[in-house]
Structure 1
Amino acid sequence: MVLTRVQQKIRDLGPLDLVRRGFDTAVAPRLLLAKLALDTRVRYLDRVALRRSAGADRLSFGRAESVTVPSLPDAPEDLNRMSGTYRFDRPFVCQLSTARLLGADALVAAPNGALLLETSLGRRDQLERSLLAEPELLARTIRDPTAPGVARADDDRLANVCSFVDGCLGGYSHWILKGLPRLEGVAKWERQTGRRATILLSGNPPSWVLESLEYFGYGKQVAMWQGNRATVDGLIVPSIRSPEQPRSAYVHRFTYDLGYKIPAPSACRWLRSVARDVQAVTDEQLSTSRRRRIYISRSDADRRRVTNETKLVESLSELGFESYSLTDLSFAEQVRLFFEAEAVVAPHGAGLANLVFADDCSVLELFGEKIKPTYRMLSAALDLDYEFLRCDPMRSDLRADPTSVRRCVEHQLGEH
């Protein structure tokens, strides 16, 4: 597997460029600088420290839980090496009486200058990358670690704000699995205080960000962050509903650990429960409504397309499958589609994050050259029947054998 990837890189880049890139990757001076800065000068609060912070008014809810991702027989190492048990602390939402927002990614600084990991997706590597994108802020913080927390006369003034800016940084999957679950904490805070929160988003967010907030009832509580400095009176911080990623960006690039991607089962249940209320579907309607068998097409993407998709769809249609391109659907339509799904077949892609809205559903994920365990882990958190199929790599795309796909689906559905 590794040899095949190296050979492909040599063909794509040439040997000299590959060596140069390898050197840059190994040295990574900017990432090393960020690591040293956070190790020695830049203060930050991880989740435990935030929970214990004297300046935070905290409300805990739910309970601690765990998920076991079992190994799959005959699965490649890339799929099985994230097998194991993942533990989630009891979730919480806190409010800082005062805080500052800084830079394009709306980094949050407490009054003592400490930066919050929780508003950088709960990931130290993301916090470091956001700092590297703000060299003046990084330099000023290295000189004076308290500087980020010192309010300035020209700061914008905000109140009762919850920043979702970092949730917009990683694309659709990160938004669904990292961003939207925060709304449970926001809802708990609103119920406790009787006040409404303002959801802060990065300027010009994707349509699915706005559509999803409208869907969950927060469409009229949105403000756009334009990268200015701001002092916030009452910053609302819900805990991220997945494991923290404590490694620096420099160390993380040499460590295979995607544990931070798995969401807490209770967060998934909450999202689906709210979606169910929005859809106004009762238990009786759910049991008697049509269950869909869906194939997710990536024909409009630039990679991981199924090159023989026409033949594959023809074969699956005989089992009652329908083909969908998710970019043609609104957010509400995507939720409804997965809400009604009995079986999902799809090449690896962000659209599979919609599995969070599925229930009692089988999943067959198609892989080409690269194998990633993201949706294997999500399926475990959701207790879904998951299978995978290695397909023939076609550079960045893949070719699926219709007979093999059909055999897997029939096995999952008990129709063989």
Structure 2
Amino acid sequence: MKARIYRLAKQVSDGGIRALGGLRGSWTAADGPALLPAVPAQPVPLPRNADQLPADFRALFGHGIALAERRVHRLHRAVVSWHGVVFQHLRLFLPSVWATPRLPPEFDGTFLLRQWLGRRHDVATAEVVGLAHGPWAAGNYYHWLVDTLPRLHLLQRTHPGCPLLVPEPIPAYVRQTAAMFGFERLVPLPAGAVARVPELAMPDYPAPSGFQDGSLSLASRNRVMEALGIAGFAGQRRVYVSRSRQRLRRLLNETAIEPLLTQYGFETLYFEELSFAEQVRLMTETTVLVGVHGANLTNMLFMRPGATVVELMNRSTHAEVFNPCYYYLANALQLSYYCLPCQGTSGEDHWQANNSDLEVEYAALQRVFANIFPSDF
């Protein structure tokens, strides 16, 4: 009963605050010239094994998306939440969440009261402070490398070396990559806090969540490789990256496919055992990467054009479960992409299904390998 009363009270409060903010109109733009032009939607190649996919699953691929103009916004006296959401006087700055269209309601209503009532962390500097991370980049390897590094690339063009807001705790790869783009002065934002920033510079997202701007992704890759002293791509390694030591999305019959992996010359590796630099170097030496959907596959960012990625993916076609972000990333990086739908083991709950452990069909994986390595079969 108390929970129902609380939810009702929150709905009423959210609605009232949302209405007050709406009286002032949408907050969608600030000072700053466009750095990148709009790009019309382009068709995206289907997975290389599209003819072997179930028809309803295959229909989910191939859809491109248009990109709007992108700029670095300048905002005065902005309030920034720990997860990179910008707001001010009961209005949400929509470009700070636009890449994640399902999120704005979460950061609306009573959330906006944190400007006055929340845990504050004032930024005491007259310098322009940069913001490049979004709601999902805090502690998330994919969203930092794929969404945030391109934004750092844009921010560097207008405000090189400025102090940079980052959420705590700060992983080593965040410190390393920020420095690679010239941002060594990090301003930590404690979890749950909001910061008052006198002068803020915030780049647009390069693309909506799950999509990428290929040119910016390649530029980010090149910057990281250059900073690590990696001159180019070398080697012919075949890597299966295992999630067996993770809590989510493990391949339950991994042992059953070990003979097949051995037959085709794959190494089984655990990326959590490797430093960021070691992962990058490994990928520059890899021509075929196989793995279950998850952050491990982000490292395809450092594979040579023309290399191959095989993603083991939950066969569910539900919108809350199907996530083709690595399919789009592979195409943005000019990689050959294969998708193998696998049977999930969790129930009907969408969150559980999204993080479900999987089982791959041995014969289906064998068919994919036969396509990739016709001379080995």
Shorter chain as normaliser: what TM range?
0.7 to 0.9
Deviation at 1:394, TM superposition (A): 3.7
Query: In structure 1, what residue type is equivalent to 2:154?
Result: G
Which residue is equivalent to 2:353?
Answer: none
Query: In structure 2, what residue type is equivalent to 1:237?
Result: M
Which residue is equivalent to 1:8?
Answer: none
Counterparts in 2 of 1:33 and 1:379: CA distance versus 1, 3 Å: farther
Query: In structure 1, what residue type is equivalent to 2:248?
Result: R
Match of 2:186 among 222, 230, 235: 222
Deviation at 1:103, TM superposition (A): 4.2
* Inter-partner Cα distance in structure 2 for 1:58 and 1:137: 30
Which residue is equivalent to 1:378?
Answer: 329
Query: In structure 2, what residue type is equivalent to 1:184?
Result: H
Which residue is equivalent to 2:213?
Answer: 264
The equivalences for 1:7-406 within 5 A come to 38=18, 41-42=21-22, 49-50=28-29, 53=30, 56-58=31-33, 60-61=35-36, 64=39, 66-71=41-46, 72-73=50-51, 74-78=53-57, 80-81=59-60, 83-96=62-75, 98-109=76-87, 114-120=91-97, 122-131=99-108, 134=111, 136-137=113-114, 155-158=122-125, 159-166=127-134, 168-169=137-138, 171-190=140-159, 196-218=161-183, 220-226=184-190, 230-243=195-208, 260-282=209-231, 285-286=232-233, 289-358=234-303, 359-370=305-316, 371-395=322-346, 396-406=356-366
Deviation at 1:214, TM superposition (A): 4.0
**CA RMSD, 1 decimal:** 3.5
In terms of fraction of residues, the more helix-rich structure is 1
Q: Structure 1 runs of 4+ off > 6 angstroms?
A: none
Which residue is equivalent to 1:17?
Answer: none
Deviation at 1:30, TM superposition (A): 5.8
* Inter-partner Cα distance in structure 1 for 2:152 and 2:124: 23
Deviation at 1:324, TM superposition (A): 1.3
Q: Do 1:391 and 1:400's aligned partners in 2 also have CA atoms closer than 8 Å? A: yes
Residue aligned with 2:199, SS: strand
* Inter-partner Cα distance in structure 2 for 1:44 and 1:264: 30
* Inter-partner Cα distance in structure 1 for 2:181 and 2:56: 38
Deviation at 1:222, TM superposition (A): 0.8
Per-residue CA deviations over 1:79-110 (Å, capped at 9, x if unaligned) read 533532211134322333x2222444353236
Q: Do 2:156 and 2:181's aligned partners in 1 also have CA atoms closer than 8 Å? A: no
Q: Do 1:107 and 1:120's aligned partners in 2 also have CA atoms closer than 8 Å? A: yes
Counterparts in 2 of 1:264 and 1:207: CA distance versus 1, 3 Å: same
Deviation at 1:295, TM superposition (A): 0.6
Deviation at 1:135, TM superposition (A): 6.6
Counterparts in 2 of 1:81 and 1:106: CA distance versus 1, 3 Å: closer
Per-residue CA deviations over 1:117-142 (Å, capped at 9, x if unaligned) read 2323633543432346737348x89x
Counterparts in 2 of 1:360 and 1:58: CA distance versus 1, 3 Å: same
Counterparts in 2 of 1:354 and 1:316: CA distance versus 1, 3 Å: same
Q: TM-score, normalised by structure 2?
A: 0.78
* Inter-partner Cα distance in structure 1 for 2:285 and 2:224: 12
Aligned-residue identity in percent: 23
* Inter-partner Cα distance in structure 2 for 1:407 and 1:129: 43
Q: Do 2:287 and 2:307's aligned partners in 1 also have CA atoms closer than 8 Å? A: yes
Query: In structure 2, what residue type is equivalent to 1:388?
Result: C
Counterparts in 2 of 1:325 and 1:58: CA distance versus 1, 3 Å: same
Per-residue CA deviations over 1:228-263 (Å, capped at 9, x if unaligned) read 5544343111110113xxxxxxxxxxxxxxxx3111
Query: Which structure 1 segments of 5+ residues have no match?
Result: 1-23, 142-147, 244-259
Q: TM-score, normalised by structure 1?
A: 0.71
Deviation at 1:198, TM superposition (A): 1.1
- Give the count of matched residue pairs: 347
* Inter-partner Cα distance in structure 1 for 2:17 and 2:261: 54
* Inter-partner Cα distance in structure 2 for 1:30 and 1:170: 29
* Inter-partner Cα distance in structure 1 for 2:79 and 2:363: 54
Deviation at 1:202, TM superposition (A): 1.4
* Inter-partner Cα distance in structure 2 for 1:333 and 1:67: 34
